[in-house]
Amino acid sequence: MLPESPVTPRAASSEDALRQQPVATFQPERLVQMLLGCVWLADGALQLQPYMFGRGFVTGVLMPNAQGNPSPIAGSITFMAHFLEPHITAWNALFAIIQIGIGVGLLVRRTIKSALALSFAWSLGVWWFGEGFGGLLSGTASPLSGAPGAVLLYVIIGVLVWPPRHAEDGAVGAGGGLLSERGARIVSALLWLGSAALLLQPSALDRAALHDSLVTAAAGQPRWYASLLLRTAHLVGANGLPLTLAFGAGMIVVGIAISCSKRTVPLLVLATILALFIWVFPEGLGGILTGQGTDPNTGPLLVLAVLAWYRYVPEKVPLRRLIVPAALEAAGS
């Protein structure tokens, strides 16, 4: 039997130091940054659809945003649409390049802050001229049809996952971004509670409102998907109010949980279920299958917003318990 090799004090101390070093983990905010980048890339790809390079983009996407808004807002949207129309091909190409650039910037660590800053400015412009402020000023805005606007959620998510001020290169720590934990809770809770409040407007409480949203979402969809939406609308009929109130109650629960709860798994499950139902049915997947959709609408972004808030929760459940363990382990190996 060979004698054991002597271990010098210096070697032992080096081994102890290695054991004590924290193992790098995939931080939730970095995951959301990358997912948000993918959404921006998808937006850029949707902007490259043939429909967007023609007059239909002006008359079918931009001009309708003026409807229902106060005269000054409606006038500014109409003016912008007429300004863009003569050279819409060139303008649309520029719009696509900007969105793809933001997406690429969010996927590269060194350019995250620049990409987020650009996305804030771009999103606010699109929220005004491209979404008519999500219909919030019209009195008919509903989260079941995309209020308060997808690009506003881009801004909220970006603020929540802004990188820490003193993070080392290649590391992203919890907190330390643009908001404190309290500020993140307020913003996130207001998103959900404000969405629930929109469902209390007379237009949303109409018994046929959900039915009409489903019928509208079916327009231009592939036959199989349009059939699903129309059958659902038929089942809902003029009795959509209980479902609408159920959506609102779920949003209130999520908003209250964000305000005071530290247990995030049930919260993520409930938020995900609500968001996916809204996305698949009344939002019609944001129209991305119609050839005329410009973004996925608010459904997936509501899930990202909750994940973005997750970084601020003091007592976190390990992220590996929330998002496909095998995929994260494979990515880290």
Q: What is the pLDDT of residue 171?
A: 41
Q: Is residue 330 part of a domain?
A: no
Rounded Cα gap, residues 86 and 310, in angstroms: 45
- As a whole number, mean pLDDT of residues 21-36 equals 71
What the block records as the tokens of 188 is 């996130």
Rounded Cα gap, residues 254 and 267, in angstroms: 6
Q: What is the pLDDT of residue 41?
A: 98
Query: Does residue 61 carry a pLDDT above 80?
Result: yes
Q: What is the pLDDT of residue 313?
A: 76
Rounded Cα gap, residues 147 and 65, in angstroms: 12
Q: List pLDDT tens digits, range 193-249.
A: 999 999 988 888 888 899 999 999 999 999 999 999 999 999 998 888 999 999 999
Q: What is the DSSP string of 265-330?
A: HHHHHHHHHHHHHHHHTTTGGGGTTTT--SS--HHHHHHHHHHHHHTT-SSPPPGGGTS-HHHHHH
- Whether omega before 148 lies within 30 degrees of 0, making that bond cis, reads yes
Q: What is the pLDDT of residue 311?
A: 79
Higher pLDDT, 175 or 280: 280
Q: List pLDDT tens digits, range 265-310.
A: 888 899 999 999 999 999 999 999 999 999 999 999 999 999 998 8
Look up the domain containing 194 and give its range.
Answer: 26-165+173-319
In this structure, of 175-184, 254-263, 294-303, the range with the lowest mean pLDDT score is 175-184
- As a whole number, mean pLDDT of residues 299-322 equals 75
Q: Is residue 151 part of a domain?
A: yes
Q: Give whole-number Cα distances, 143 to 155, 243, 263, 274, 313, in Å.
A: 17, 13, 25, 11, 25
What the block records as the tokens of 256 is 């209250």
Query: Does residue 22 carry a pLDDT above 60?
Result: no
Query: Does residue 317 carry a pLDDT above 90?
Result: no
Helix then strand then coil, in percent of the chain rounded to 5, is: 70, 0, 30
- As a whole number, mean pLDDT of residues 59-73 equals 95
Q: What is the pLDDT of residue 315?
A: 57
Q: Is residue 65 part of a domain?
A: yes
Rounded Cα gap, residues 311 and 306, in angstroms: 9
Angle CA 242–299–210, to nearest 5: 30
Q: Is residue 91 part of a domain?
A: yes
Q: Is residue 7 part of a domain?
A: no
Query: Does residue 168 carry a pLDDT above 60?
Result: no
Q: Is residue 124 part of a domain?
A: yes
Q: Is residue 136 part of a domain?
A: yes
- Which residues are CB-neighbours of 81 under 8 A, at least 6 positions away? 58, 62, 63, 66, 129
In this structure, of 19-33, 69-83, 310-324, the range with the lowest mean pLDDT score is 310-324
Q: Is residue 37 part of a domain?
A: yes
Query: Does residue 174 carry a pLDDT above 50?
Result: no
Q: Is 144 helix (H, G, I), strand (E, B) or coil?
A: helix
Rounded Cα gap, residues 121 and 186, in angstroms: 22
The tally of domains found in the chain comes to 1
Q: What are phi and psi of 296, to 5 degrees?
A: -75, 0
What the block records as the tokens of 54 is 């023609």
- Which residues are CB-neighbours of 91 under 8 A, at least 6 positions away? 84
